[in-house]
Amino acid sequence: MISSTDFDRSPGQASDFGPTNFGGSINMKSPELQADPDIRGTFTYGSYNTKLYSLDMESGLFGPGKKDSVLFNINAMTSDGYQTYNYQQRDAGYGKFQHRFSDRTSLSLYGGVVDIWNNTPNTTNPTRAQVAQYGDNYLLDNTPLLANGTPDPYYYGYNTYHVQTDFEYAAFTSDLGNGWKFDTKAYTTRYWNKQFYQNGATVNLTTAKPSGVDKLNGYRHAGDTAILSWESKWGVFRTGAWYDWAYTDRYQLRPTSSPRKIRPWATSMSTSSPSRSSRLRNSNGMRRRGWWLPPVSNRRLQNDAEPVSG
């Protein structure tokens, strides 16, 4: 997904955009498309049963006049993690297309997505008593019920952490001659952090004050940068425009006495036949099932986890 990374420790130039970068900036560049076709598949295995699968494909130059090229990558990673029952699954991929109108002018289209699931709770710090009893890698366990029959607040199924990101752009670049260059790039990016977790050391299943928390932190940016530059023996002249639109969606539904805000967990602890309304999307059976009920009505959830059957 990244061909090179440029670490710039300077404040940058006037043409840089974004928040003030007095401390420097990190610039990541997408891969350059190659003239020859290529296919590569890799598998990597690491500690804590970490597995990474990756497939890369490059078309090489094709089409009339050999002016088009495409590359894509898909990869998947699963890991048990160092801490107990903090499983993670990451699926990602990207694609890039480029059309060369001439040696001086080109159009590039790029898109990349990352989808991460894990069971990380709201805190990743075990208590001293837990470390003493279970070891310093303890975080969660796989027992839905305690010995006395009450729900176990450290059951990993009570915590679902889902993060989605994507980034896309369309770039048009042209060398106009005599030192003049024009570059415009329309872009969009999204970050979506959705979390369900047990709040506190006691599971409360009552409708008056449930202990489950439904949390979202997400945003979408879209915009365009257009730069006209002229390079001469006196230096580089740049002028241009930058437009950015942003939408942020954040909420945290805490335990409340009002059932219209958040519902309690499903009272049944059976894993064999959960009801339709008490089972969240499980993404191909990965170990991230939680017995949570989403809010009664919240339009902001329509693009994320919805209760489904199956």
Question: Is residue 153 in some structural domain?
Answer: yes
Dig out the tokens for 113 from the structure. 């997505």
Distance CA 222, CA 211 (A): 37
Q: Are residues 86 and 226 in the same domain?
A: yes
Give the pLDDT confidence of 159-194 residue by residue, as tens digits: 888 999 999 999 999 999 999 999 999 999 999 999
Q: Which domain holds residue 12?
A: 1-30
Residue at token pair 């006395």: 148
Yes or no: say if 29 and 2 are a contact pair by the CB < 8 Å rule.
Answer: yes
Q: Are residues 3 and 131 in the same domain?
A: no
Give the pLDDT confidence of 233-267 residue by residue, as tens digits: 899 898 999 899 999 999 888 645 333 333 333 33
Question: Is residue 306 in some structural domain?
Answer: no
Partners of 106 in the β-ladder: 100, 173
Calculate the CA dihedral of residues 130, 132, 133, 134 and round it to 10 degrees.
70
The three-state secondary structure class of 285 is coil
Q: Are residues 4 and 78 in the same domain?
A: no
- Res 74: pLDDT: 96
Q: Are residues 51 and 109 in the same domain?
A: yes
Distance CA 267, CA 291 (A): 8
Rg over alpha carbons for the chain, rounded to the nearest Å, is 25
Q: Structure pTM? A: 0.72
The three-state secondary structure class of 19 is coil
In the chain, the number of structural domains is: 2
* Environment class of 212 (CB within 10 Å of its CB; exposed 0-12, middle 13-18, buried 19+): buried
Q: Are residues 18 and 104 in the same domain?
A: no
Residue bearing the bigger pLDDT, 23 or 76: 76
User: Concatenated DSSP letters for 216-236?
Assistant: EEEEEEEEEEEEEEEEETTEE
Residue 160: name the closest of 122, 201, 204, 124 by CA. 122
Q: Residue 121's domain is classified under what CATH number?
A: 2.40.170.20
